Structure 1
């Protein structure tokens, strides 16, 4: 009887399906200073990863500025597998992958509608390059919103940037500032508030909600609501981890990130208009209220940014992108360039 029971138990054990192991992912997120988008959407998504994805999975989430990792290293981190999922900031990572800037050259995206069109047209090229050159599956993109100018000295138009030092975050922006007679100063977002306070830079570019969260209005006087770019971000997964998922798991994962990025697009647009008001002490306001002066863009300001795409940002980017990825500018011209009448 003992031998019989033992044999029966063994047969049942062999016949039973193996228990699936819980999927575990290490996630590198946005900087803490980015505020609402991080706290309301990105962080809760990863903290409730199983419910959000419908997978038996957990995510260990770390904001990038708590790790010692710098923003420009995002694609390298994803490719190397140090983190399985990385919240990629496209301007900094464009040093490794210039194709990322093709979504958001200066003068290309004045508003959310233009930004959405850019992703529809050029995102497939970015996805292909990330996969082939960086072993990274791009799961979705979203914009922080129009990147506008904050200045410590009072300015009345873009013409007043001449002679000033301006914090920028990519080469496309640096070229445009130089065309205005300003001095472009590349600085990480986390260092910019102190740089403004100490006079290392006179002006800086970011979105109104990011500036609000990071306290830039405490050390500036003026905001110029003229969108130079929209500052795209995205979520990349190490390709080996992606390929290790079953087809069903991949479908659920992709669907979850599509829902997340759709929510961020909508929230980003809400935050943009609200933060503009709050930075100027206007109501209604659910963010921190400041007292900046809003300087409305002049017709020449609007024209300068619009013309920058054809005359400054695309020509400079074209050579750099083609060196890194042959055919890059041709892909842009046949999609976004054709759409913009180039």
Structure 2
């Protein structure tokens, strides 16, 4: 009877998962990350799994600290961007190398192809289980002067937040400048930078249209993000709980991909001449990349972005990328032979 009682108690123990989210002022946290852990998972598990999440902006954390805290068990789960984890290994950049992908459906194929690689890396570096990959709205260029083509970026100071974005900026003859997101409007207004790279919706919600006149809609990245869980905590779950959590996170991932595609279109309409269902119209001039712009982009990708990343990541890492993402995109990452 005692053993039956202890089994009953164990089955009814509540698992509490302490999670860290991304930015509280972006819709990914407001619509998806926050509601999932603060309410959804408790509802569908009948209270067996209860989540508690706060965005890293509220917790005052720097990105690079977050997965280290997950590794140490301070948090059980984290949403984050590759920039958080690249200091540990350049392998984490591989699913979102700058400017390679212009289409969200292709980006999803890239994420799926690279998932097993990232899964291994999270396990090895952080004792964490990679649960999901999802995108923020696509990253584009927003400038305080007229931009008609990729050539007009030459010599400009451009805000970046990832090494691979810096490679793109240098590849087009511009100067990368690191500026925290909260300081972006101020940096543009004061002329500290001439252009910034940020997502379409973040450009709108931070009202960049008040300080930037032009948007160049070349996609230079996707802000591909991850959700990962401390492996020790994962192993505390029963098999039924693991299946439930994976199924719920799969559904969350699907809705985030769908919403990002929709958000891109809404944000671009709102930044330009409308119609805008979420606020005022920005009246920015949006310039689509021409065929010749895309040719330049291809050249920068193959001659600068991929070789530099292959150099940072090493031969084994690059060979793995070529077998996975490279096959999807029909591209190869190879470090330049300095002896040629």
Does the alignment reach a TM-score above 0.5?
Answer: yes
Point out 4+ residue stretches in structure 1 off by more than 4 angstroms.
Answer: 52-55
Partner SS state of residue 241, structure 1: helix
Conservation of the 8 A alpha-carbon contact between 2:17 and 2:52? yes
Partner SS state of residue 32, structure 1: coil
Q: Who wins on radius of gyration, i.e. which is larger?
A: 1
Indicate the residue corresponding to 1:328 in structure 2: 317
1:222 aligns with 2:214: yes
Indicate the residue corresponding to 1:40 in structure 2: 31
> Could you tell me how far apart the structure 2 residues matched to 1:52 and 1:222 are?
45
Deviations 1:233-281 (A, max 9, x none): 0111111111222222111111111111110000000000110000113
Indicate the residue corresponding to 2:327 in structure 1: 338
Normalised TM-score (structure 1)? 0.90
How many Å apart are 1:125 and its aligned residue? 0.6
Indicate the residue corresponding to 2:105 in structure 1: 113
Q: Structure 2: which 5+ runs fail to align? A: 332-340
Conservation of the 8 A alpha-carbon contact between 1:164 and 1:182? yes
Deviations 1:274-298 (A, max 9, x none): 1000011311533442121111222
How many Å apart are 1:149 and its aligned residue? 0.4
Deviations 1:20-48 (A, max 9, x none): 221111111011232x2221222111221
> Could you tell me how far apart the structure 1 residues matched to 2:229 and 2:148 are?
44
Partner SS state of residue 221, structure 2: coil
- Residues matched between the structures, number: 327
1:11-30 correspondence to structure 2 within 5 Å: 15-16=4-5, 17-18=8-9, 20-30=12-22
Partner SS state of residue 9, structure 2: coil
1:208 to 183, 200, 210: 200
> Could you tell me how far apart the structure 1 residues matched to 2:109 and 2:203 are?
26
Q: Structure 1: which 5+ runs fail to align? A: 1-10
1:131-210 correspondence to structure 2 within 5 Å: 131-210=123-202
Normalised TM-score (structure 2)? 0.90
RMSD: 1.8
| Greater Cα shift, 184-193 or 103-112 | 184-193
> Could you tell me how far apart the structure 2 residues matched to 1:169 and 1:180 are?
17
